[in-house]
Amino acid sequence: MSNAVKFTGEQGKIQLAISMLKHEKEMVTLQFEVADNGIGISEEDQKRLFSLFEQADGSETRQFGGIGSGLFITKHIVELMSGKIEVDSKPGKGSKFAFAVDVKKAKG
């Protein structure tokens, strides 16, 4: 969410969606999606997004700062939960990041 806020202008739109993909006795599969209509990311830059200390190299992204560790950490957390994170983005059109994970139901 913080990257969506960082790279989407004041007139932009950010959407968070959480949906249940599968429902079993003790587990559910939840899908999380964050979509924005911000600056977007080229295919070339998408290849480096989840690497430690890598950022898209354009001047637009450099002005926002950061050290390039957020998506690296996010990817590893998602993978530790047996999930996979994906990105769909086009320059000037925005980005959508999505991942699905299995979570144990709370007892109650």
Smallest CA-to-CA distance from 97 within 7, 28, 23 is with 7
Which helix H or strand E contains 53, and what residues bound it?
none
Residue 55 and residue 100: Cα distance in Å, rounded? 24
The pTM of the full predicted model, rounded to 2 decimals, is 0.80
Return the pLDDT at 66: 53
**Which residues are bridge partners to 15 per DSSP?**
35
CB atoms inside a 10 Å sphere around CB 38: 22
Smallest CA-to-CA distance from 95 within 12, 4, 31 is with 4
Mean pLDDT by 10 residues, the chain (108 residues): 83 94 94 94 88 60 59 92 93 94 88
Count of domains observed in the chain = 1
DSSP state of 102: E
Find the domain containing 7 and state its range.
2-104
| Pairing state between β 27-36 and 84-90 | unpaired
Task: Give the domain CATH number at 57.
Answer: 3.30.565.10
